[in-house]
Amino acid sequence: MTESHTHRVIPLQDLRPLSLPLPVAAQQPGQRISANGLLADTRARALHDLRISVTDRCNFRCNYCMPKEIFGTDYPYLRHADLLSFEEITRLARQFIAHGVQKIRLTGGEPLLRKHLEQLVEQLAALRTLDGQPLDITLTTNGSLLARKAAALKAAGLQRVTVSLDGLDDAVFRAMNDVDFPVADVLAGIDAARAAGLGPIKINMVVKRGTNEQEILPMARRFRASGMVLRFIEYMDVGATNGWRMNEVMPSSEVVQQIQTELPLIPLQASQPGETAQRWGYAGADGQYDPGLGEIGVISSVTQAFCHSCNRARLSTEGQLYLCLFAEKGYDLRQLLRSGASDADLANAIGHIWQGRSDRYSELRSALAPDTGAPIKRVEMSYIGG
């Protein structure tokens, strides 16, 4: 479990101030974009999902996300005044919905550290999509505070949760979260979420070779026939502080092979456009997919890029709009929001930003120069959410 951190560089405070100017066309009256739900980027990708980071803080120090040697006790987190208020988030969300967004995921950092988060959930739950339907409102959490907050979140209008869980062995789990947090408390949070009706619950496991690949089968056994969907995520090169190396990536194909040695799997069709996970269903005694046994998903953003169908935008804690998880810079919507911009102005800016989007980092990764350990300027995952 010992790892070298000699290549971890660039503290996050050097990355946060970077922002892109709004597209020139967004500032020209004759080129305004009306919000009609038909927005598409340069690769004909629609805007469907919005991920909103509500805090840059987390109570875990997972080495693939917020390593302790960078995010220590003296780390300068954002001031409360720098954060978007719940009312500002809701106002921006309304403009994204006007452009076709149907799903909002609250994330972080650890979103449950944001005080009174259920008030934001309640505000978002009151919004409606262009066809008058309730939004699909979800939340990704490390589960540490879920047991005490699940019921209130459900009552406020949250529909589902995704819980990050990188292993069932307590020693492995404590080492990965690096704050000695017990796995039993996360499992209790999952139970509380299920009891509250926050489902179907998804469980996300980041697989890092040499660290937790021995937990793949125990996790598959635990969540098979549980009514929950377990998803295995390839260790990604997000941010600039996690010391990412390709030899620590365990391809999803190997994960599936390992599970297949004990639990036969059947490939399933995608359930919706732009889905990031490839679905595999557990086979029953007849060799056919048995819905009662459930399914797993594998997210292969390193070995099998899905940029071509990516329909997600990300709004940071302080109102920067990012068009890719691997982006270097975002667009400052907070400044626009607080400068007195109208709703039409906000919708117009969002429209021009998305319309000019061409991001496809994961598809280009293999053509990039080999990693030499030199600094790479990318926004941290803990800042814009995974």
Domain ranges for the chain, please list them: 12-203+308-384
pLDDT at 12 > cutoff 80: no
pLDDT of residue 377: 59
For range 24-29, the mean pLDDT: 79
The percentage of residues in the chain with a pLDDT greater than 90, rounded to a whole number, is 70
More confident residue, 211 or 8: 211
Give how far the C-alpha of residue 228 lies from the chain's centroid of Cα atoms, to the nearest Å. Answer: 18
pLDDT tens per residue, range 30-50: 788 989 998 999 999 999 999
Q: Which of 92-101, 114-123, 243-252, 348-357 has the lowest mean pLDDT?
A: 243-252
The percentage of residues in the chain with a pLDDT greater than 70, rounded to a whole number, is 87
pLDDT of residue 187: 98
Q: Which of 83-87, 100-104, 361-365 has the lowest mean pLDDT?
A: 361-365
Give how far the C-alpha of residue 160 lies from the chain's centroid of Cα atoms, to the nearest Å. Answer: 14
Q: How far apart are CA 353 and CA 331, in angstroms?
A: 8
pLDDT of residue 1: 40
pLDDT of residue 237: 64
pLDDT of residue 270: 86
Three-state secondary structure of 274-295: CCCCEEEEEECCCCCECHHHCE
pLDDT at 15 > cutoff 80: no
Mean pLDDT of the chain: 89
For range 88-108, the mean pLDDT: 97
Q: Give me the architecture of the 12-203+308-384 domain, per CATH.
A: Alpha-Beta Barrel (3.20)
Burial state string for 315-353 with b = 16 or more CB within 10 A and e = fewer than 16: bbbbbbbbbbbbbebbbbbbebbeeeeeeebbbbbbbbb
Close Cβ partners of 171 (under 8 Å, ≥ 6 residues apart): none
Q: Considering only CA atoms, which of 8, 7, 42, 36 is closest in space to residue 23?
A: 42
Q: Are strands 229-234 and 265-267 parallel, antiparallel or unpaired?
A: unpaired
Q: How far apart are CA 386 and CA 383, in angstroms?
A: 9
Helical (H) or strand (E) element with 237: none
For range 51-67, the mean pLDDT: 92
For range 258-274, the mean pLDDT: 90
pLDDT tens per residue, range 143-188: 999 999 999 999 999 999 999 999 999 999 999 999 999 999 999 9
pLDDT of residue 245: 75
What stretches of 99-169 show up as alpha helix (H) in DSSP?
117-125, 146-156
C-beta of residue 237 within 8 angstroms of C-beta of residue 7: no
pLDDT of residue 238: 59
pLDDT of residue 353: 97
pLDDT of residue 364: 77
